[in-house]
Structure 1
Amino acid sequence: MIDVVLWISFVIMCIALIVTFIRLVLGPTLPDRVVMLELMALLSVAFIGLYSIKSGHSAFLDVALVLALTAFLAAVGFARYLEKGGLHDDD
């Protein structure tokens, strides 16, 4: 039963990742793209967490934690860049 739930979760995550990537490419402004990159990092952490549950190896959770912290720091860096007067238009 848990295998079916995990496979359904993997499929839903794949669909979410594809939709997020499309929005990343089509995003009209830079802040929209930054938010989509953050969402892709979150989905990657979720993928790693699901894989850790499926494989039974808890070492992958450490990788997910490092990825989550790195994505957070990148989001803070992008926010500071935009706040300091970074690109406003994608022209």
Structure 2
Amino acid sequence: MIAGETFLSYCVLIALALLCLSFLLTVLRVLKGPTLPDRILGLDMLVAVAIGFIAVLGIRTGFSFHVDIAIALGLVGFLATVAFARFVMSRKPEDAPHRPASGADRETRR
């Protein structure tokens, strides 16, 4: 049975490494993201990665308490995403950052 435990420990390490990589790429998207919806989607992805971390740590330690924490974090993350989406939808066009008009826009304004 030691082979099964060894296989599980390797799988947990690989999962943690992949989650770390996805965490770093997602933080890059949140910081760089060209628009506000991109940043909001990145924050939602950070919540998903955190849930993955908690699930993998629950498998590694064997405590089922981690599942409860992951469910609570998922609910809070969902509510935060809905709140951000409502914020983006309620913004007025004059609140949005000004972007310069392209050549085609200038022609139609004349």
- Which category of TM-score, normalised to the shorter sequence, fits these structures? over 0.9
Q: CA RMSD in A?
A: 1.6
User: Which is greater in Rg?
Assistant: 2
Structure 1 gap segments, 5+ residues each: none
The answer to whether the 8 A contact 1:49-1:61 is kept is: yes
The answer to whether 1:41 aligns with 2:47 is yes
State the structure with bigger RCO (CA 8 A, min sep 6), 1 or 2: 1
1:88 corresponds to: 96
TM-score, with structure 1 as normaliser: 0.94
TM-score, with structure 2 as normaliser: 0.78
Per-residue CA deviation, residues 33-55 of structure 1 (Å, 9 max, x unaligned), is 00000000000001000000110
> Runs of at least 4 residues of structure 1 off by over 4 A?
none
Q: 5 Å matches for 1:1-91?
A: 1-85=7-91, 87-89=95-97
Summarize the Cα distance change of 1:90–1:34 in structure 2 as closer, same or farther, 3 Å threshold.
Answer: farther
Structure 2 gap segments, 5+ residues each: 1-6, 100-110
Per-residue CA deviation, residues 4-61 of structure 1 (Å, 9 max, x unaligned), is 0010000000000001101111011111000000000000001000000110000011
Determine the C-alpha separation between the residues in 1 that align with 2:60 and 2:27.
25
Q: Percent identity?
A: 31
